[in-house]
């Protein structure tokens, strides 16, 4: 999990927009975004929760690589897609006076569910 909050705030500052909102969207089907607390023990709890809910070694049709039109070295990552489905791929956060409007313990978190890999996140700032 990666805390994107500081970097997103930098982009907002560079944009010059003071009031409005920012939309943050993952550009991958095996990553997710959510607003949550960036606390080490909670992050471990989230990982354990997802593993209990969607075990990587469970049987998934998506993992039948030989039956799909994809490269033979394609990873068996159905569990990553399912976790992304549950967690979501975007967040919208209001802006006031050039700052993200988040609670004291809230951060914009990117969940890497099938990596590590190089990932892209789209950020669009709207307002005036």
Q: Where are the domains of the chain?
A: 2-127
Cα–Cα dist 13/95, whole Å: 11
Cα–Cα dist 127/22, whole Å: 9
pTM for the predicted model, two decimal places:
0.93
Superfamily for domain range 2-127? YjbQ-like (2.60.120.460)
- Do residues 55 and 79 touch, judged by C-beta distance below 8 A? yes
Q: Residue 98 in 3-state DSSP?
A: coil
pLDDT of the residue at 81: 98
**pLDDT tens profile 11-49:** 999 999 999 999 999 999 999 999 999 999 999 999 999
DSSP secondary structure of 13-56: HHHT--SEEEEEEESSTTEEEEEE---HHHHHHHHHHHHHHS-T
**pLDDT tens profile 87-122:** 999 999 999 999 999 999 999 999 999 989 999 999
Residue 72: pLDDT over 90: no
């Amino acid at each position: 999990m990666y805390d994107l909050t500081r970097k997103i705030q930098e982009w907002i500052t560079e944009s010059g927009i003071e009031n409005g909102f920012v939309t943050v969207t993952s550009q991958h089907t095996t990553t997710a975004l959510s607003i949550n607390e960036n606390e080490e023990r909670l992050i471990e709890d989230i990982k354990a929760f997802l593993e209990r809910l969607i075990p990587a070694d469970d049987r998934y049709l998506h993992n039948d690589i030989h039956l799909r039109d994809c490269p033979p070295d394609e990873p068996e990552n159905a569990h990553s897609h399912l976790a992304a489905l549950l967690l979501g791929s975007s967040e919208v956060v209001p802006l006031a006076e050039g700052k993200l409007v988040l609670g004291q313990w809230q951060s914009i978190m990117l969940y890497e569910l099938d990596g590590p890999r190089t990932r892209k996140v789209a950020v669009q700032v709207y307002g005036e």
